[in-house]
Structures are given as structure tokens and as C-alpha cells.
Amino acid sequence: MATLKELTKREPALASGHRMCPGCTAPIIVKLVSVAAQKPLVISSATGCLEVSSTIYPFTAWNSSFIHNAFENSAATMSGVEAAYQALRRRGKLKDEFNFIAFGGDGGTYDIGLQSLSGAMERGHDMLYVCYDNEAYMNTGVQRSGATPKGTYTTTSPVGKVQVGKKEFRKNLTEIMVAHRIPYVAQASPSHWNDLVRKVEKALSIKGPKFMNVIMPCTLGWAFPSDMGIEIAKLAVETCFWPLYEVENGAYKVNYKPKEMKPLTEFIKLQGRFSHLQKEANKNIVDELQAQVKREWEDLLAREKMTAPATPAATQ
Amino acid sequence: MAKFEALTGNNAVAYAMKQINPDVVAAYPITPQTSLMEKFTEYVADGEIDTEVVLVESEHSAMSATVGASAAGARAMTATSSQGFALMWEVVYIASGLRLPIVMPLVNRALSAPINIHCDHSDAMGGRDSGWIQLWSENAQEAYENMIQAVRIAEDPKVLLPVLVNFDGFIISHGVENVSLYDTEKVRNFVGEYRPKHYLLNAKNPITIGLLDLTDYYFEHRRQMADAMKNAYGVIGAIADEFKKEFGPSYRFIEPYRMDDAEIAVIGLGSTMGTLRVVIDECRAKGIKVGSLKIRVFRPFPDEELARLVSGLKAVAVLDRADSLNGISGPLFTDVRSALYGKTAIPVSDYVYGLGGREITLDNLRQIVTDLGTIAGTKKAPRESTYLGVRV
């Protein structure tokens, strides 16, 4: 992996001067992802915060080629770009080599863009799809998505007299992508920058479709002070709410195993979107969430064990 | 040298695509387009061409991938029908708004509901304000030749708008005709290399495509599209002239038939215009001075040429193979009457026909000519459309 010193010398694809919120962790993720790449990039983005805040005509914050098409088709659009690359290289019309990275938020990836993503991954395009998962539709003002955790306040899953935030558990997109049997799937967090950069480096070294799901604390939608984003991302990892792991050719590796799993309340108590969960009356929801985290963590460890490469002793 | 081959419309268009040999083609099956892409992927599988084919999971992704490929700097195509066009509608507008010279055959089919696989023009008419140029074909020969010209029209720097090549589902797409095919070398020379000015796969000059355009610029960019559509008039004409010189056939915005001394005329587009000529010949033999005007270029709409061609007539009728459901008429009528308004006071009547593949008979068309005779006398057209061949 490139050293921190080397990384700081590389120019990120996203320049300063974009209009993301102060304290937003998306630009951190995008910059880390882009400095991990060694070849020129073509980047696509679904409609969303990242796109609207970085490309307000006549300005662009992108140093690399960048395309925004629509909300649900970042992956399909990039599959066309990659197909063009294959065709033009084959026909001798293009000499430069590129890496292809598609971005989408959780709305554009878990929900409206899931089909487009699934198709592009199944077709085997040589591209990395990165979901920056802030667990709701933030660009339109914090509405619930398939990535929103149970019990979370959003503007469409309000805390009312008969309903306490979102009624359903979030779906596990990373596992859905693992089920595509693509060469590389990983989960990462901007709090663990070296892990994230190493994963992008690894992903880009593999030819074919790759997927990374990166948690992205949102100061607006999660309601925390703008200097707390990385701290909260770190707690997501340490509570095992967002485990860091990778799946290479079907083999799981959990990259961070806390000596002791921090209670989920550590993560919850810092965020306004969960403030109602501090009340005694809603303790059952916290318990459910905690149980879910525990169940999924154990499940993940079991998968790691199950898919571990056979040891010499085992093969005898 | 041109050679004749018995081909379906879909195979003729697939053959044009093979000759053009685009860099990228995205394909998704839908009746009646399916056999077009089947044939095209056969050429690729046999190594006759080396197009990168993207077999997408929906038409929405077909157009999305085509947009990505075109923006990347490739000559890119896809094809569809009906629901497929409806599903890609969002991205259809993006393709033109991003000024990407994509060419797409649209094998015209009715829109749901009720679901119906047969020909009408509802699909294309749904895209009439999308900023795509629309060429219409009467038969497989025209579909083949429109495809070749479409590439040049779309990629012209004064235009840079995508082009839809329309031809009637089943009637043209599956009907076998003797098609005159041109030498591949000649077609490739005519079409030329695609050399975009700005594209994504340029490491030395990276660009951003698809920016957020707010109140300060959006309007100007839309206005530029309107100008590009107006520029297309000249470009389509010039390319038709070049095509004639190179290959022989003469293409226009509107093809007149027996119009020289005509007093009444029928205006329409698509395969029915061939059937109509039979009726016109028959009526002419009886001394009725009727002609027809086949619209080949629907977008941009040839309003001035149309007004010139109908000036001096006593009445005209419009054939609409789609209904606008606006309480008045089909979509072609709206454009025709608007083109004539203020230029001539002749009565214009509308006939909605053939929805969902309903046959249009010679008798249906004879009725129009008879009606036109009456209207020419009374100088008064009915306010609403007549629905041809439909049970009440």
C-alpha cells in the first residue's frame, strides 16, 4: 500500500471549492478513493449530494473526467463508458489506460439504482462501484431509504404518536453484492483511512466488477456537530454496526475485530436522528438494533470461518 | 455496386448497423425489435464486426449505457420499441440534453395499456418533444437508408442531437422485401470516422459532463438545443443531397406523390403511405385530383415546406397512427394545422387509424378521399378526429 506521505503527494480527483456541507464526510471518502488510483480516472455519480455540490455549471470540482447521467443509472452509465474504452482500445483509437469508478449514495444504490448496479456487476465490466452510504435520502432533505436503520427519524419516517421512526430494518447491500459472485466486495469507513485506501488499491488491481460500501456520516441528516463525522464513523466500526470486511473471490476477511464490542448506545447517543431512542419508552427499539448488530456480527465471523482457505492440516 | 437481398426490415437495419460498425451497441430484447439485435449480435459472434456489445438488463440501462459510451467518445447505438422506449424516456431526454449523437432505430409499436405488440406510432409520438431528430421510413429500404444518413446528421457539429429512425413494427420490421444494399466500403466512407471534440476518455483534457444547470444557464442550454434542431434542417438536406450523389435515391423532408395538379391531399407517415398510393392511383384514374405528402422528417418539423406544398389545395387530411387524447386530434394533425395556420385557410381534417395494429384497408383510405371531396366543397372540416375502422 502507498504510504501516507506518497498519498499526500497525489492530487485527489475532487478539488477544494466544492459545495458539500461543512463536516460532510463524502469528500473525504471520494478523495481517499481517488488518491488510491494510479491511472487516470473516469468517475460517474448518481444524482445526489456529491453530484449537485461538485458540478454547479459553469464550475466543476473534478480533476478527472466525470459524468452524471441520472439518479438510478451511475452503474449502467459507467458500463457504457467502460464498453467504449474496450472498443476504442481494441480498435487502436485510444492509448491511455483508465480506471473506472462509479459513485452513488444509498438512495441511488440500495434503492433506485439497485437494478442498474446488479446488471453492471453481472455483466462483468471492469469498474469499481463505491456506495457512500449515509443511510437516507440526504440531498432531498433526509427521507428514509432501504439503508436507513430501524427506529431512525427521517422526514418520511417521523417520530409520531403511533410510529417511532423507521419501522423496518435496513437491508444488507454488501451481502447482496457478495451474492453476485464478483471478484471483490468490501465494506469500509473513512475513519479507517488506511484500510479504505488499501481496499481501493486492491479493488483496482483486480480486473472485473468490484463493489465497496462505505459508511458516510451526514452532519445534516444524522444531526451531529460538523467536527464529529469521523468520530461517529469510528464508533460505527467499533460497535460493529458497520464492520470492516472484504470478500475476495468468495473468501471473507474481517479486517477489524474489536477486543470488546462497544455498546450500540455509544454510537446512537451522539446523533440527533436517534434522540428519541434515549427515552425509556423506546428502549425496546435500541435492544432490537443491538440484537441485530450482534446477530449480523456473529454471522459475519461464521462466514469468515466457513470461507477461510483450507489449512494444510485440514487438507490432510 | 448495390446488391439486392430479400430482407426483413429488422435485418436490413441490422445490416446497416453492421456496415456502420459502431464502437458500442447496447441491446435489450423487446417485440418487435428483438430480431434486429439478434441479427446484429450474430454478426459480432461471427467476428464480422468488432462492436462492443453491452447486453443490459433493461432499456433504461440500454440508453444509460449508450449515453455513457457516447460521452466517453464512442459511436454508440441501441434500438427499441414501445414499452422499451417508454422505460428509457428519462434518459432519452438526457441523451439530447447532453448533445450526444446517438442513433436509435425505433420499431414502432403500440403502448400499454392494454398491452399490445402491434404497430402504431404512440411510442415515437411520446418522444416528439424530446430533442431527438425523427426520421420515418415507409419500408425496409428507407429504414436502411435512413440509418446510414442518421449517423451523419447526428454527428454533424452544427447539430449534435440524437436521431430516431422509425419504422413500423411487424409491417416493416418483419415483412420481407427486396432491399438494395450498398457496398460496405462506400457506406463506411459515407459515414466516416467519428471524431468527437470533447469526450471522457481523454486523459490530457478531462471533462465534466452532466452538470447541475440552474436558473442562470439552463435556459440558454435549452435554447441552444432549439437552435441545433433548426440547424438540422440544412444539415438533413445537405446529407440527403450527398446521399443521392453517392447512392442514387433522393430523400426529402416531405415526399410528394401526384401533387402537381392536385386539389386535395392526404398527409401521413410510415408504411401506410405506400398503401395510400394505390388508392391515389385508383382515384386519379377516375379523374379525382388527389395526391399525398409523406413526411419523412418529423423532427425538425418541415412546416414551411409543408405550407408551400399544400398552398392552392382545397382540402387536406392527416393520417394519425397515434392519438393525443387531448379531446381534439392525433399529434401529427396538431403540427400540420399549426404549420398551415396563417399561411393558408384550407380545411384540415384528422383521421386516427391503425391503433394497436388494426389493419387499414383500401376502403378506409377511399373514405378519406371521398370525405375530402365533400370538405373541399363545404370548406369545412370536422372539429374532431374521425376514427377509421373502429367499432363504435
ipTM of the complex: 0.97
A123 contacts B200? CB cut-off 8 A:
no
Q: What is the mean pLDDT of chain A?
A: 97
* DSSP sequence for B12-67: HHHHHHHHH--SEEEE---TTTHHHHHHHHHHHHTTS---EEEE-SSHHHHHHHHH
Is B93 an interface residue toward A (CB < 8 Å)? no
A70 contacts B64? CB cut-off 8 A:
yes
Mutating which of A60, A71, A73, A180 best tests the B interface, going by the most B Cβ atoms within 10 A? A73
- Statement to judge: residues B214 and B270 lie in one domain: no
B60 contacts A66? CB cut-off 8 A:
no
Window B:43-72, CB contacts with A under 8 Å:
50-52, 54-58, 60-61, 64-72
- Statement to judge: residues B228 and B360 lie in one domain: no
Is B35 an interface residue toward A (CB < 8 Å)? no
Window B:101-130, CB contacts with A under 8 Å:
none
Is A79 an interface residue toward B (CB < 8 Å)? yes
- d(CA A253, nearest CA chain B) in Å: 31
The answer to the question of residue B36 being in a domain is yes
- Give the Cα separation of A292 and B134 in Å (integer): 55
- d(CA A179, nearest CA chain B) in Å: 17
| Low pLDDT (below 50) residues in chain B | none
- Statement to judge: residues B92 and B176 lie in one domain: yes
Q: What is the CATH number of the domain that holds B263?
A: 3.40.50.920
Which of B247, B272, B302 is at the close of a domain? B247
Is A90 an interface residue toward B (CB < 8 Å)? yes
Mutating which of A53, A77, A180 best tests the B interface, going by the most B Cβ atoms within 10 A? A77
Which of B247, B282, B307 is at the close of a domain? B247
Closest C-alpha among A95, A76, A100, A138 to residue A273: A138
Q: What is the CA radius of gyration of chain B?
A: 21
- Give the Cα separation of A154 and B268 in Å (integer): 54
The answer to the question of residue B392 being in a domain is no
- Give the Cα separation of B349 and B259 in Å (integer): 18
> What letter does residue A221 receive in the DSSP assignment?
I
Element (H, E) at B268: strand B264-268
Closest C-alpha among A14, A62, A60 to residue A35: A14
Which of B229, B247, B265 is at the close of a domain? B247
- Statement to judge: residues B206 and B259 lie in one domain: no
- Statement to judge: residues B131 and B207 lie in one domain: yes
Residue contacts between A and B (CB atoms, under 8 Å): 165
Are B322 and B331 spatial neighbours (Cβ–Cβ below 8 Å)?
yes
Query: Is CATH 3.90.25.10 correct for A4-307?
Result: no
User: Mean pLDDT over residues A211-237, rounded?
Assistant: 98
Give residue B386's pLDDT. 97
Contacts of B70 in chain A (CB under 8 A): 80, 84
Contacts of B214 in chain A (CB under 8 A): 56-57
Question: What digits encode the pLDDT tens for the residues A272-287?
Answer: 999 999 999 999 999 9
Is B209 an interface residue toward A (CB < 8 Å)? yes
B61 contacts A76? CB cut-off 8 A:
yes
B217 contacts A96? CB cut-off 8 A:
no
Is A92 an interface residue toward B (CB < 8 Å)? no
Give residue A316's pLDDT. 47
- Statement to judge: residues B131 and B225 lie in one domain: yes
- d(CA A68, nearest CA chain B) in Å: 5
Q: Which structural domain, as residue segments, surrounds residue B51?
A: 3-247
- Picking from A63, A69, A86, the nearest residue to B206 by CB comes out as A63
Residue in chain A closest to B74 (alpha carbons) equals: A84
The answer to the question of residue B147 being in a domain is yes
Mutating which of B209, B218, B220, B221 best tests the A interface, going by the most A Cβ atoms within 10 A? B209
Contacts of B210 in chain A (CB under 8 A): 51, 55, 67-69
Are A105 and A82 spatial neighbours (Cβ–Cβ below 8 Å)?
no
- Picking from B56, B74, B211, the nearest residue to A60 by CB comes out as B211
B211 contacts A87? CB cut-off 8 A:
no
- For the cut 80, the answer to whether the pLDDT of residue A314 exceeds it is no
How many other CB atoms are there within 10 angstroms of residue A39's CB atom? 12
- Statement to judge: residues B200 and B259 lie in one domain: no
Contacts of A57 in chain B (CB under 8 A): 211-214, 217
User: Mean pLDDT over residues A152-170, rounded?
Assistant: 97
- Give the Cα separation of A235 and A189 in Å (integer): 10
Cα separations (Å) of A201 from A39, A117, B117? 11, 21, 49
How many other CB atoms are there within 10 angstroms of residue B287's CB atom? 6
Question: What digits encode the pLDDT tens for the residues A16-37?
Answer: 999 999 999 999 999 999 999 9
Element (H, E) at B278: helix B272-285
The structural domain count of chain B equals: 2
Q: What is the mean pLDDT of chain B?
A: 97
Element (H, E) at A214: strand A209-215
Residue in chain B closest to A41 (alpha carbons) equals: B203
- Statement to judge: residues B134 and B25 lie in one domain: yes
Is A38 an interface residue toward B (CB < 8 Å)? no
- Statement to judge: residues B215 and B263 lie in one domain: no
- Statement to judge: residues B179 and B271 lie in one domain: no
- Statement to judge: residues B125 and B182 lie in one domain: yes
- For the cut 90, the answer to whether the pLDDT of residue A310 exceeds it is no
B67 contacts A80? CB cut-off 8 A:
yes
- Statement to judge: residues B67 and B213 lie in one domain: yes
Q: What is the CATH number of the domain that holds B183?
A: 3.40.50.970
Is B76 an interface residue toward A (CB < 8 Å)? yes
Closest C-alpha among B373, B264, B385 to residue B320: B385
Give residue A309's pLDDT. 83
Is B385 an interface residue toward A (CB < 8 Å)? no
Contacts of A78 in chain B (CB under 8 A): 68
